[in-house]
Each structure stands twice: as structure tokens, then as C-alpha cells.
């Protein structure tokens, strides 16, 4: 697949650092990355089954990168639509899908202006994207627009409560004051791209689950954090006890978020 086969509706800068593409092209095939994507896939499927939604699904993979998640859903027979701002990674995703005989629609663009119709998707997956988009609230509106009633949205993003993070190669970065963050973001975009892992759009937003839950509540979503959506089947008795205590006690839940790098959540669009 070449760039002529990629739909494009964006005025964003689609270029990239070679180091970034090389890293993510390789990392997307690693066992750890595939296991992480499988975890997201089965989390969504499990919650869909709990809601008796088991039909062939229309799936939007926003920030699809080299296509690992898109391919996973397409292999299960779902209609998959991938979008990314990085043209080089999108070409790799298309090539991999073609080699596997999978029909996946890939589009070049931004999460602030999704190329799909209103209420056209059953599932919307947004992995590690929201932190990189300045106009992140516009993204939330777009996710709500394309999802059908009872549609499922999965988001993973930067967690401002936890001092450990992977966006910047700087210690305790998520706890830096905003002014200092802006300083290092500017450095990463200009003279030192390596401190932000060569990302064309370094992370500029940091979230807590509580913040996003409030935002989603305002646009008609019910939200569930990583502890709510965690599968406890097969876990030890002690692990089940700890998870259930976290679910029941707000202070333990908050401490759990402080101790967890990254933020994962599921949001369900309310039926109209």
C-alpha cells in the first residue's frame, strides 16, 4: 500500500522523525505491544458481551499507528477504519494489512476532524493520542459524534496523578508545573526532539480519570476506570480482594491511580 491509497482530509503536518517511525514500526510487532493491544481488545469485547452487543462491529481505531490494533479487529471479521496523523506509519499499516489480505480503510488526518459520519461506529479506540492534541476537547466531541448510542469508547492517555510516565525522558515530568512543561515541550519541538522520543507532536496534556469522567458526563457518557473494567477472573484470592477494595473505597481508588503509570478508561455513550 502506498500513499495514493490513503484517504486524507487533514492540513496537519504529516511528516515525522525517522527515529520515531523506526522505533514504532519495530515496537508495534513486539510481544509486549501485541499483548497490550490484546488486553485492550479483550477488555472491549468483554464489556460488549456484558451489554449483549456481539454482532459484526464498525470500529474506529484513532491514532492507529502501524496498524496492530486495526489488524486485530479486522482478523475477527469486523469493519475497521484506522486514522493517524503520521503518514509514514499509516503506509506501514496499510502494507501490513494488504499482506494479510485484510480490507481496512486507513485515513490520514486528525482526531479533531474525523472523516466518518454521525453515529456510524460501534467502537472507538483512542490509544495514547489525547495527550498530544492541543484541542483535546474537540476530540471528545468528535468521538461522541461518530459513536452510535450505546457505543463503546476506549481511551488510554497520560496520567497526571502518577509521577512515572513515558512521554518525556525527564524524571517526574507529569508533576512538573505547567510553565515548566511548556518550556520542555518547546525544546522537544525545536532543538531536542529526543527528550520526547522524537514525537512530532509531543505530549501537551495530562489528565486524571476524574477530570475526563467529568468531561464525558457533560456530553452524555458513563465512564469506568481501569479498576472498573479489570477482568478479575483467574486472579488470586488476594488480588480479587485488593481490586474489590479499590472499587469500594474512593481513597484507595485514588491511590491506585497515583500508583499506575498511564490512564485507561472505558466510556459508554448513553442511549438517546
Q: What is the mean pLDDT of the chain?
A: 91
Integer CA distances (angstroms), 125 to 26, 61, 250, in order: 21, 5, 27
Q: Is the pLDDT at 204 greater than 80, yes or no?
A: yes
Residue predicted with more confidence, 14 or 39: 39
Indicate the domain borders of the chain: 3-269
Mean pLDDT of 121-146: 96
pLDDT digits (tens, 9 = 90+) for 75-119: 999 999 999 999 999 999 999 999 999 999 999 999 999 999 999
The fourth-level CATH superfamily of domain 3-269 is Vaccinia Virus protein VP39 (3.40.50.150)
Local confidence band at 8 (pLDDT 50, 70, 90 cut-offs):
very low
Amino acid at each position: 500500500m502506498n500513499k495514493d491509497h490513503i484517504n486524507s482530509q487533514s492540513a496537519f503536518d504529516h511528516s515525522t522523525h525517522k527515529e520515531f517511525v523506526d522505533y514504532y514500526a519495530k515496537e508495534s510487532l513486539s510481544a509486549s505491544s501485541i499483548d497490550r493491544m490484546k488486553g485492550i481488545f479483550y477488555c472491549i469485547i468483554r464489556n460488549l458481551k456484558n451489554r449483549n452487543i456481539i454482532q459484526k462491529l464498525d470500529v474506529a481505531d484513532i491514532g492507529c499507528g502501524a496498524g496492530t490494533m486495526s489488524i486485530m479487529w479486522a482478523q475477527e471479521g469486523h469493519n475497521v477504519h484506522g486514522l493517524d496523523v503520521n503518514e509514514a506509519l499509516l503506509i506501514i499499516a496499510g502494507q501490513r494489512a494488504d499482506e494479510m489480505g485484510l480490507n481496512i480503510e486507513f485515513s490520514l488526518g486528525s482526531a479533531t476532524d474525523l472523516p466518518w459520519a454521525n453515529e456510524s461506529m460501534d467502537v472507538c479506540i483512542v490509544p495514547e493520542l489525547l495527550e498530544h492534541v492541543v484541542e483535546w476537547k474537540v476530540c471528545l466531541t468528535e468521538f461522541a459524534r461518530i459513536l452510535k448510542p450505546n457505543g463503546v469508547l476506549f481511551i488510554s492517555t497520560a496520567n497526571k496523578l502518577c509521577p512515572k510516565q513515558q512521554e518525556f525522558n525527564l524524571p517526574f515530568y507529569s508533576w512538573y508545573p505547567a510553565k515548566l512543561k511548556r518550556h520542555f515541550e518547546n525544546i522537544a519541538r525545536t532543538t531536542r526532539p529526543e527528550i520526547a522520543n522524537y514525537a512530532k507532536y509531543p505530549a501537551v496534556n495530562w489528565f486524571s480519570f476524574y477530570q475526563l469522567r467529568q468531561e464525558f458526563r457533560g456530553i452524555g457518557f458513563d465512564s469506568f476506570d481501569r479498576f472498573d473494567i479489570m477482568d478479575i477472573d483467574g486472579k488470586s484470592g488476594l488480588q480479587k480482594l485488593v481490586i474489590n477494595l479499590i472499587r469500594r473505597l474512593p481513597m484507595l481508588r485514588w491511590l491506585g491511580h497515583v500508583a499506575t503509570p498511564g490512564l485507561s478508561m472505558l466510556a459508554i455513550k448513553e442511549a438517546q
